[in-house]
Amino acid sequence: MEEKIIKTEYSEEMQRAYVDYAMSVIVSRALPDVRDGLKPVQRRTLYDMRELGILYDRPYRKSARIVGDTMGKYHPHGDSSIYEALVVMSQDFKKGLPLIDGHGNFGTIEGDGAAAMRYTEARLKKVTQLALLDDLDKDTVDFVPNFDETEKEPEVLPCRIPNLLINGSEGIAVGMTTNIPPHNFGETIDAMKALILNEEITTRELMRYIKGPDFPTGGIVINKDDLKDIYETGNGKIRIRGVASVEKLKNGHQNVVITQIPYTMVGAGIGKFLSEVAALSESKKTQDIVDISNQSSKEGIRIVIELKKDADAENFINLLYKKTHLEDTFGVNMLAIKNGRPETMSLKDILKSVVDFQYEINTRKYNTLLNKELEKKEIQEGLIKACNLIDLIIEIIRGSSDRKMAEDCLVKGITDGIKFKTKESSIMASQLLFTERQAKAILDMRLYRLIGLEIAALNKDHENTLANIYRYEDILDRKESMAQVIIADLEGFKKEFAQKRKTVIENAEEAVYKEKEFEEMDVYFLMDRFGYCKMIDQATFERNKEAIDEECKFAIRIRNNGRMAIFTEKGQMHTLKMMDLPMSKFSDKGIPVDNLTNYDSSDDMIIFAEDLSTVLLGRYLFVTADGMCKVTSGTEFDVSARRTVQATKLNDDDRIVSIRKVRNEENVILQSTNNYFIRFLLSEIPEMKKTAAGVKGMRLDGKEKVENAYITEAVSEDAITVGSKTVSLNSVKLLGRGGKGTKIKG
């Protein structure tokens, strides 16, 4: 075969290929058809279930069977997309009107996924069978070949309800998205009836019936006045809130209980909401929260937030609306396929498209029914005529040598070859002009049909057939009659399947959260030897002073809006905002300092802690294990932006053993691990920056290290214990800085 090379511009070929791909995704995958409100994968799944006989009054069948059959016959795009569509159509928290009856684990409102398809079972819902699939056998819609042309599938389902509005839809195509909210079944039926009766009805008038979206999760739509523009343009934003109430407990505490959530929170949004509430407490937006628990079950949503006794519960609810997804926005974009093209439609456009489709499928349906009744009428008239001439018919049948001879006589009056008893019979037979359909029915008729009661039943059936023909012709000839038939169907569906509205529609004021005025006061910062810290008021400190002295490593007075400076042996200074620390009881365990700062207690130790405002005004002596000393001004630690700084420079394997606040005229005493002591004047240690390592304060031998440092005035009688011996610090010989010092035996 000779090769044929087509030369074309690369960009043009890419553009053409991409447009084909985009339209394929838009029309065949991502967007619903306005007529039945279904995407192709949903339509094919429902049709396949009907073909498999998995009806609402039949046993459940494995989901894997449905998915496999759908994929093999109609939707060759992978089993996950089919099963996901099947699962969503069964979830009553996502669909206003579930179309599939799921049996087994089909996921939860909290975002838990469905079990594998081999474990779950499904069947059609009654409403799906009656309202979407019932008239497929009446030539109501066109059938098209499947992907490999081995099967036929419906181009659209003969849906008799406005499913696109009832169940809504969401999807992402190429360059466009759709997001249609679900609506109340009864309200959409009423709006559709109103449009049928008055084609000039406006969107505002339709909204007398459709108040707004009706989300399966309930909630409150709070921008009612915006809905008119949304429904007229097909675009806009709906603001929706969850429902929260206050429960008062016997102990004086209050619970805020959330029983309905915004539709946008379905799935992982609930877990995110719980994290947002916890973050409000952690970020100090509120200190009213005692506990949070998710008590949701099959009976419904129940999220409980326990508050403190003095908390303003209503104000806290406003905080949730303001700072969390308990109030959220649903972006409406009513995009669907209409006449094979994607189109953004208004509320009236969608309803009109559905109404026009009802006229189309009902016209095809009643034409099919009329043709069947006309065929039945023809046969019935032939049988009635044959019953009146039964003796002649029997004579023709007995005198014929084969079926064709008898049929030709009945249809064409050909009597050649037929043996008649009399010539009059031959003449009468030649005048019979039955149709071919009538002749076939006569020859197939059984003898029991000649019984009197059977003949009477035949006449009655004929009367019913004539009545049906008259009715069907009236429906097809008069639009008013057709409209009444459609309305009667809609009323029947409403009576059987309508539910009460779940979502409240109103105009609500903006949620206003009033922050508590901050009361500045003196408090005490406590930290035990394990690094747990807490903040207590002065009264609590005074009552528990002795226990605090025994149990706490640091007990520092500070303002409740101040910052603590915490120095570690690795030479770092961490700052801790007191506003990050909740007010506690003395009996409370406290919060690990690691959680409030960058400090890591696993390989570092806290040496010194002080109110940062006090640190900034002072001068501090730093002494390391290697005997290095320096004095640093507190202004070096003015770190308004950073939470951690390096307070001093350390050599490898060195560490800080002491940080002490100093004045000018003082002595410094260093003590080594071998009990060598050296005393020298503080003035011998130069003042240095925080980045400096310092100067040598004591000469050490071998593995000897500085163990401690003391500050004392010249006239002080401060004493320490060395072994069993009490030593006055000022009795240590005054030497110059950098010496070995004097050994004191205990």
Distance (Å, rounded) from C-alpha 263 to C-alpha 240? Answer: 8
CA 586 to the chain's CA centroid: 43
119 catalytic per annotation: yes
For residue 294, the 8-state DSSP code is E
Helix (H, G, I), strand (E, B) or coil at 164: helix
| 358 HSE (CA, 13 A, CB side) | 26
First to last CA, the chain: 110
The answer to whether 420 touches 362, Cβ cutoff 8 Å, is: no
Q: What is the largest CA-CA distance in the chain?
A: 163
In this structure, the number of other CB atoms found within 10 A of the CB of residue 310 comes to 9
Distance (Å, rounded) from C-alpha 369 to C-alpha 472? Answer: 8
Beta bridge partners of 742: 677
Token pair in block for residue 530:
């394990």
DSSP letters, 572-622, are: EEEEEEGGGS-B--TTS--EEGGGTSS--TTS--EEEEEEHHHHHHSEEEE
Catalytic residue among 21, 47, 74, 119: 119
DSSP letters, 177-202, are: EEEE----HHHHHHHHHHHHH-TT--
Distance (Å, rounded) from C-alpha 391 to C-alpha 617? Answer: 131
The answer to whether 336 touches 164, Cβ cutoff 8 Å, is: yes
The answer to whether 739 touches 678, Cβ cutoff 8 Å, is: yes
Tokens 């084969």, residue?
402
Distance (Å, rounded) from C-alpha 703 to C-alpha 709? Answer: 18
Distance (Å, rounded) from C-alpha 683 to C-alpha 629? Answer: 12
- Residues marked as catalytic: 119
